[in-house]
A and B are shown apart, each in its own frame.
Chain A
C-alpha cells in the first residue's frame, strides 16, 4: 500500500517537473530573450548569449521622446476609456442581472458580438462615420473605438457579479423605503465593488494593449505604445534592443494585473471558471 502511494507521489512529482520544464521552454525562453535583448550590448551570431550587457537601452528609453509620449498617450487613453466604461456599464449590467433569463440571453449575445467581430473589421466600418464626424486620427476617435470593446467587457463583469447578489438584500432595502437607485447605490454597488475594481483593471489593461482599432482609427497621429512598437517592428531595420525595451514596458502592466487577478481569485477561493475576471480573460480580445 505505501509502496503504491510512493509511486503515485513520484508520478506527481515527475509530472510537475515535466510541466514546469515545458513552461520554462515555451514561456520562459521567449520572455527571457526579450529581457536579454533589452540589456544586451552586442549580440552577434553565432553567440547564443549576448557578448556583453548594458543598461543603456533602458536609460535611453527614459529619454526617448517617442516612447515617453506613447506611454503617456496609452495611459491617458486608458483612463479616458475606463471611466466612461465603468459609469455607462452599471445601469445595463444591473438591468440585465434582474432580467428573466430568456430576455437576458438576447442581450448577452448582443454584447458578446462586439467582442468577437475582429477589431480591424469594427474599426474600418466605423472609420467612415468617424471621418464624416472629423474624429479620425484624434484621441476622441480612438477612445470611442476602444469603448466598443471595453464597454461590453465591463457589462459582462458587473452583470456576473450583480447576478450573485442575493435578491433578499435588495428586497429588504426596498421594503425599508429605498428606491431602485438608492438600492443600487447603497447596497448593490458596495457589494459588487470588488467586481467593479476588477473590471476597471481589466478594461484599463485591455485598453493599454489594444492595437487593431487604435491603429486603424488613430495611427499615425495618435501613437499608443502598441502602435509605436508595431511601427518599430514593421520594416527591415528592426533595432532589437530598443524594440525589446518598448515591448517589455507594453507587456508588464497586463501581466501584473493578470497575476493580481489570479491571486485575488485564489484568495476568494473561487473556482477557476465563474469569477468575473476569468470570464473576461476569455474574451479579452488581445490584438
Chain B
C-alpha cells in the first residue's frame, strides 16, 4: 500500500477543492445564511414565513411533489420490470440493454419537444386515435400535470432500471439457489428473498429518482400548466426579480433535501458494494455452491 502524503501532492489537490468549495459549498452556505438573516444580520424566519403564507408557493410545492411522486412511481415500476427481464436470457439482449437506456442521455429540452409532438392536442397520438373514435383529453400544459409526469417518467425510467438492477445484482446468488432447491418457485424466491434483501437499494433508487424529479426544471416548465407553477420555476422567477431572501429560502430547503438524499443513497450503495465484494469472495471460495 502506497500512501502519497507528500505536501506537494496535497498542494495539487487545492485547485479542485477550491473550485468546488468556492462555487458550490460557499454559495450554499451563503444561501442558508441569507435565508435566516435580515439586512441588519439579525436572525429572522421571515423568508420561510412568507413562503408558507404565499398561496402560489404552497400550490406549486404540492403540485411539484405530486408530479414527482407520480413520475417516480411509474419509473420505479418500469425499472423493476426491466431489471427482472434483464435477468433472463433472450436473443438481442445486449443491444436491448443499450438501446433501452438511451433516454438517460437525451436532453430534457429535446424530451419536451418529443412529448409535445406526441401528446399535444392534434399531436401524433390524437391523430392515430381519432379514427377509432377516441378523443384524448388535454395532456400537455394541463392543470393535472400529466404531460410532465409522462415526460419525467420516460426520461427517468431507464436510470431507475439500472439502479434497481445493480441493487439486485449485488445480492448473493446462492441464497436464491438454496430457496429454489428447497422447492420455491422463481416467483416466490423473487418476492420473498430477493426483494426484501434488495430493499435498501430499491429505496435508495426511489429516493434518488424522487429528488431528481423534484429538481427537474426544463420539462415541467415547458410541459406544465401556467398555474400552479413548479416550485423551481418559482425559484427561478424569484431569482430574476432579485427577491434574494426567497431564493435563499427555497434553495436552502432543496439543498437540504438533496444533501440528505445523497447521503442516504451513498450509504446504501456503499453497503451494497461491500456486500457484493463479500458475496464474490464467498462465491469464489465455495465455488458458488454454498
Are A and B interaction partners? Answer: yes
Which of chain B's residues has its CB closest to A97's CB?
B4
Interface residues of B (CB under 8 A from A): 1-4, 6, 8-10, 12-13, 15-17, 19-20, 23-24, 26-28, 30-31, 85, 88-94, 96-110, 112-118, 122, 124, 126-128, 130-131, 154-155, 159, 162-163, 165-166, 169, 208, 211-212, 214-218, 221-222, 232, 235-236, 238-239, 244, 247-248, 250-251, 254-255, 258-259, 261-263, 265-266, 270
Sample of 14 more A-B contacts, CB < 8 Å, known A88-B19, A171-B2:
A12-B89, A20-B96, A23-B96, A30-B115, A117-B254, A118-B215, A126-B24, A129-B27, A129-B30, A247-B114, A251-B106, A254-B105, A258-B105, A286-B107
Q: Is B217 a contact partner of A287 (Cβ separation < 8 A)?
A: yes
Which residues of chain A come closer than 8 Å to B2, judged between CB atoms?
A: 98, 167, 170-171, 174
Cα distance A230–B111 when bound, in Å?
Answer: 11
Q: Is B122 a contact partner of A118 (Cβ separation < 8 A)?
A: no
Count residues of chain A with CB under 8 A from any CB of chain B: 97
B interface: dominant SS: helix
A-B contact count (CB 8 A): 279
Q: Is B109 a contact partner of A230 (Cβ separation < 8 A)?
A: yes
18 contacts between A and B (CB under 8 A): A15-B88, A19-B96, A19-B100, A98-B1, A113-B24, A113-B258, A117-B255, A120-B236, A126-B23, A129-B26, A167-B2, A180-B4, A230-B109, A230-B218, A233-B113, A250-B107, A257-B105, A272-B97
Interface residues of A in 94-145 (CB under 8 A from B): 94-95, 98, 105, 108-122, 124-129, 144-145
Residue A55 CB within 8 A of the other chain: no
A interface: dominant SS: helix
Which residues of chain B come closer than 8 Å to A119, judged between CB atoms?
A: 215, 217
Which of chain B's residues has its CB closest to A256's CB?
B105
A-B pairs, top 10 by smallest CB distance, nearest first, are A118-B215, A91-B12, A209-B107, A30-B114, A254-B105, A125-B31, A16-B90, A262-B98, A116-B262, A125-B27
Q: Is B215 a contact partner of A12 (Cβ separation < 8 A)?
A: no
Interface residues of A (CB under 8 A from B): 12-13, 15-16, 19-20, 23, 26-27, 29-31, 33-34, 37, 45-48, 88-89, 91-92, 94-95, 98, 105, 108-122, 124-129, 144-145, 147-148, 151-152, 155, 167, 170-171, 174, 180-181, 205, 209, 211-212, 215-216, 226, 229-230, 233-234, 238, 240, 243-244, 247-248, 250-251, 254-255, 257-259, 262, 266, 271-273, 278, 281-282, 284-287
